[in-house]
Amino acid sequence: MIRFGPSGNSQIFYEEGNKSSLQAPSWLKSKGLTAYEYSFGRGYNMTRDTAQKLGEEAEKNDVLISVHAPFYINFANPLEEMAEKSFNYVLTGLNYLNWFKGEHLVVHLATQGKMQRTEALNLTKRRLISTLENLKSLNINLNNKYICPETMGKFSQIGSAEEIIEFCSLDNMLIPTFDFGHLNCLTAGKFKEKDSYKRIFDLSFEKLGEFKTKNCHIHFSKIEYSSKGEIRHLDFDDDYYGPNFEPLAQVILDYKLEPTIICESANFMAEDALKMLNIYENLKKH
- Which residues lie near Zn ion (CB under 5 A)? 150, 179, 219
Give least dist CB 153 to Zn ion, A: 8
Q: Within 10 A of 138 (CB to CB), how many other CB atoms are there?
A: 9
Kindly tell me which of 41 and 209 has the beta carbon lying closer to Zn ion: 41
Q: Within 10 A of 108 (CB to CB), how many other CB atoms are there?
A: 23
Beta-sheet pairing, 110-111 with 157-158: antiparallel
Kindly tell me which of 8 and 57 has the beta carbon lying closer to Zn ion: 8
State which residue has the least CB distance to Zn ion: 219
Give least dist CB 125 to Zn ion, A: 20
Kindly tell me which of 152 and 257 has the beta carbon lying closer to Zn ion: 152
Q: Residue 256 region, left (φ>0) first, then alpha (ψ -120 to 50), else beta?
A: left
Q: Within 10 A of 33 (CB to CB), how many other CB atoms are there?
A: 23
Kindly tell me which of 162 and 210 has the beta carbon lying closer to Zn ion: 162
Listed residue (212, 248, 270) closest to 18, CA to CA = 270
**Helices and strands per DSSP (H, E), number in the chain:** 10, 12
Indicate the helix (H) or strand (E) that contains 98: helix 80-100
Kindly tell me which of 123 and 164 has the beta carbon lying closer to Zn ion: 164
Give least dist CB 102 to Zn ion, A: 15
Full DSSP string of 5-45? EEBS--HHHHHTT--SGGGHHHHHHHHT--EEEEE-TT---
User: Which residues does 42 contact at the CB level (< 8 Å), separation at least 6?
Assistant: 70, 71
Give least dist CB 85 to Zn ion, A: 18
Give least dist CB 261 to Zn ion, A: 11
Kindly tell me which of 145 and 219 has the beta carbon lying closer to Zn ion: 219
Give least dist CB 17 to Zn ion, A: 29
Q: Within 10 A of 254 (CB to CB), how many other CB atoms are there?
A: 12
